A and B are shown apart, each in its own frame.
Chain A
Amino acid sequence: MRKTYRFTCIVCPLGCSIEVEVEDGKVLEVRGHTCPRGKEWAIQEVTSPKRVVMTVLPVENGALPTVSVKTAEPVPKEKIPELMRFLASLKLKAPIKIGDVVTEWKGVKIVVTRGA
């Protein structure tokens, strides 16, 4: 089945309106981009979109009640709910400092961005 995806490119402030033509998971055509980076991004958005995920985790005895964390690398978009459920069961104890890896999930490091 042929499908057209439309979105605004976020690679640079130009914000090109890009269209990607897809059939059976294969990219047929990319239109509307002005640079190769935009094209590459658009193809990835259609075939395997990824996001850096950030959240906070409760922490005991810290200066603040939570620490903030992020994934060390972007993770596939469709895996995010699973990752979030995994993180929901974590219990942390201070001291924790920025840059610490508190856990790993399917090989993705969970890195502290604000300590406690």
Chain B
Amino acid sequence: MMGFPNVPTLSYDVVVIGGGPAGMAAAIKAKELGLKVLLLDENDYLGGILPQCIHPGFGIHYFGEELTGPEFASRLAKKLVELGVEYRTSARILEIRNYSDLEKFVLFTSPSGLYGVWARAVIYAAGARERHAFEIGIVGDRVSGIYTAGEAQTLMDIYGVLPGKEIVIVGSGDVGLIMARRFALEGAKVKAVIELMHYPGGLARNVMILRDFGIPLYLGHKVVEVRGKGRVKKVKVVRIDENLRETGEEFWIEADTLVISVGLVPAVKKLKKIGVEIDPATGGPVVNDRLETSVPGVFVAGNSLLINDLVDYVAEQGEMAAEGAKEFIENGGIESRRWTRVEKGENIRLVVPHYLSGERDVYLYLRVSKPMEDVELRIPEIGKRLKLPVVKPAEMIRLKLKEEEIRGAGKLTVEVVRP
């Protein structure tokens, strides 16, 4: 670690990193709770990724009505401004330092210079990044026409650039399907959606896009190679078997554009640098029910915590983190008489938070490993049983647990089983 930088310093109770839905909700809540808060965002405008998510489907839980991404963002931004929350855009974090439990230092750069912020707590809500073509082993020519879904979305829906006219989409998750619709609406031909798994990855309402526009979906297939000169000309698709191994069966699709939509990874490199423990299942930090990481006073929310499918939960996590920061600052720590560890049982891929204080009601966010029908979600330690007609990895399950159910349990194992 370098010496203490000679830059102007600011002082706050809590600094929120990231001005997307999680960060804005956190900053608003922190302000409402009476904390002195500063929000920092690296983009030129607030909202994170929402301003380019121009489709509806946001806010049904959080605002009680269906909004588009930019509308959801603008509601939060309006509230932020009305409350007088201090924020800076075009402000990129360079480093987080953890001097002690109640002394955090955040170094950031902006067009008005470098600044250091002293804060007692940090709420990290910097979102996620997309996995790209190289990560999934696509070989061949390195040509133009290969975009992640988010990049294609930025080009189209922020900069007004149409990337291509014959499109192959890798991944049938929500983002991939939504981009399929955007391309189709603007007159491009979406030739195929290619999905590795043997079931679609997106929410049912988005899978419906395929039917609306007559787009073929190839389940149990993967794109392995791209060929072209200057620009993508064709992509090679292979069929894979039940064990996700490549069969010899393959074919080429002619297209000028390959859109990669194969999932998000929490953007937590700067947290790792200060020693925050990461859960390999979520790719985000291990947290307690205040969404505090393993570094006291550092909280995390939104897609930096775990990849969500609904922005409503992202905003909810922002508020939870703000409440955590409030308690941390007032009491000098997040306390529990006895921490309860949450463990993954059968058919559970991930569950957050990892530790419960038993001092309050909580939401568990969890995903199953594989789709199942007519199952029960169970927590045997407390005799909890919940019938679920259908579970899918694409659909996060949010489960409320009461304070009294958790208190003193020591350990809770969440499982999804056939009754």
Contacts and interface: CB of A to CB of B under 8 A. Distances in A.
Interface in A41-66: 49, 51-56, 58, 63-66
A63 B156 contact: no
B159 A68 contact: no
A8 B207 contact: yes
Given A56-B160, A68-B68, A114-B74, A13 B208 contact: no
B205 interface: yes
A113 B68 contact: yes
Given A54-B68, A64-B158, A80-B185, A70 B56 contact: yes
Nearest to B390: A15
A66 B208 contact: no
B208 A10 contact: yes
Contact of B71 (A49, A51, A63, A98): A98
Contacts of B74: 98, 114
Which of A55, A68, A84, A98 has the most C-beta atoms of chain B within 10 angstroms of its own C-beta?
Answer: A68
Contacts of B45: 63-64
Nearest to A85: B187
A68 B157 contact: yes
Nearest to B70: A114
Given A55-B54, A70-B68, A9 B204 contact: yes
Contact of B185 (A14, A53, A63): A53
Interface in B344-394: 389-390, 392
- Mostly, the B contact residues are mixed
Interface in B182-208: 185-187, 203-205, 207-208
Interface residues of A, number: 28
A5 B124 CA distance: 47
Interface string B212-227: 1000000000000000
A7 interface: yes
A92 to B, nearest CB: 11
B203 to A, nearest CB: 8
B131 interface: no
Contacts of A9: 204
A8 to B, nearest CB: 4
B interface residue count range (under 10 / 10 to 19 / 20 to 34 / 35 or more) = 20 to 34
A54 B71 CA distance: 12
A65 B159 contact: yes
B185 A10 contact: no
Contact of B204 (A15, A64, A98): A15
Contacts of A55: 54, 185-186
Contacts of B392: 15
B185 A68 contact: no
Contacts of A68: 51, 54, 68, 70, 157
Given A10-B204, A10-B205, A98-B70, A113 B159 contact: no
Nearest to A66: B160
Interface string B68-90: 10110010000000000000000
A64 B389 CA distance: 45
B158 to A, nearest CB: 6
B395 interface: yes
Interface of B: 44-45, 51, 54-56, 68, 70-71, 74, 156-160, 185-187, 203-205, 207-208, 211-212, 389-390, 392, 395
22 contacts: A7-B208, A8-B204, A8-B208, A10-B205, A10-B208, A13-B395, A14-B390, A15-B204, A16-B389, A54-B68, A56-B156, A56-B157, A63-B44, A64-B158, A66-B157, A66-B159, A70-B54, A77-B212, A80-B185, A84-B185, A114-B51, A114-B74
